Amino acid sequence: MTRATHTLTLDQGALELAVDRHGEQGHPFLLLHGGGGPATVAPFAALLAEQRPARVFSPVHPGFDGTTRPDWLTDVPTLARIYADLLDTLDLRDVAVVGNSIGGWIAAELAVLGSDRITSVTLVNAVGIAVPGHPVAGTFSLTPVELSRLSFHDPSKFRFDPSALSTEQRAVMAGNRAALQVYSGPHTMADPTLTDRLAKITHPTLVAWGESDKVVDADYGRAYAEAVPGAEFRLLAATGHLPQTETPDQLLPLVWDFADAHATHRPQR
């Protein structure tokens, strides 16, 4: 993995954006992490680049992993515009966008923008919409251990020991949580306007969902798919909120096959 910093300029101001990269050639992927930070997608990014002809770009949402978040950056739609600008800056085309949790919300907002650099979008246990009777779990009131119980099909395989964290790790976790709280907005991980705006999406879209997710349940995922014209919905067995961590063997071929099927230029295998 290599990490590079790119200077982007938006109407609101300049931004230094850290981007992790795995793989040197092949189909470009924009992989957007969730509230747990870049570490929640890094192993999957490495696996994708290793097992498929893929270049995986994973931006660090400003404020996560010890990075700086400018005061004007406070919402997911602005993050989406930042990543549209990143695709322009890197001159990437035929991009497959994949996002998990709040990263899925960002991916959905990016798809709404309609960039012609994107050829497919995969939303993995995404948040961002309001579904009556299926609320997003109130993660900010939970301890990391409690959140882990909601996030995994088998939490025993992903035990979390806060006492084992270093001072630096605790600081990064606190920064991640603070940034997530800002981006989640006043409606707690949802934008009441998003469901209607999803109808604007024209990119091929796959909604992949862990059947055992207790942060956002499978019916929430089905509602997401129903709101996007022509979207496919796939349920992942024995999987919770983080398929890329818990069952990458299921998620990777699903993500790759969908991206490959909609690629304009297929890479050499």
**Which pLDDT tens digit goes with each residue over 200-226?**
999 999 999 999 999 999 999 999 999
Q: In whole angstroms, give the CA distance from residue 135 to residue 129.
A: 9
Question: Over pLDDT 90: what percentage of the chain?
Answer: 82
Question: Over pLDDT 70: what percentage of the chain?
Answer: 98
Nearest to 265 by CA among 97, 115, 94: 94
Burial of residue 10 (number of CB atoms within 10 Å: 0-12, 13-18, 19+)? middle
Mean pLDDT of the region 111-127: 97
Q: What is the pLDDT of residue 266?
A: 52
Give 113 or 155, the one with higher predicted confidence.
113
Q: Which of 29-43, 98-112, 252-266 has the lowest mean pLDDT?
A: 252-266
Dihedral angle over CA of 253, 259, 264, 269, nearest 10: -20
Q: What is the pLDDT of residue 71?
A: 95
pLDDT at 159 over 90: no
Residue 65 pLDDT grade (very low, low, confident, very high; cuts 50, 70, 90): very high
**Residues in the chain, total:** 269
pTM of the model: 0.95
pLDDT at 268 over 80: no
Mean pLDDT of the region 72-77: 96
Mean pLDDT of the region 153-179: 87
- Bridge partners (DSSP) listed for residue 120: 96
Report helix angle 248-261 to 42-51, nearest 10. Answer: 60
DSSP 108: H
Mean pLDDT of the region 151-167: 85
In tens, the pLDDT along 40-58 reads 999 999 999 999 999 999 9
Residue 267 pLDDT grade (very low, low, confident, very high; cuts 50, 70, 90): very low
Give 163 or 48, the one with higher predicted confidence.
48
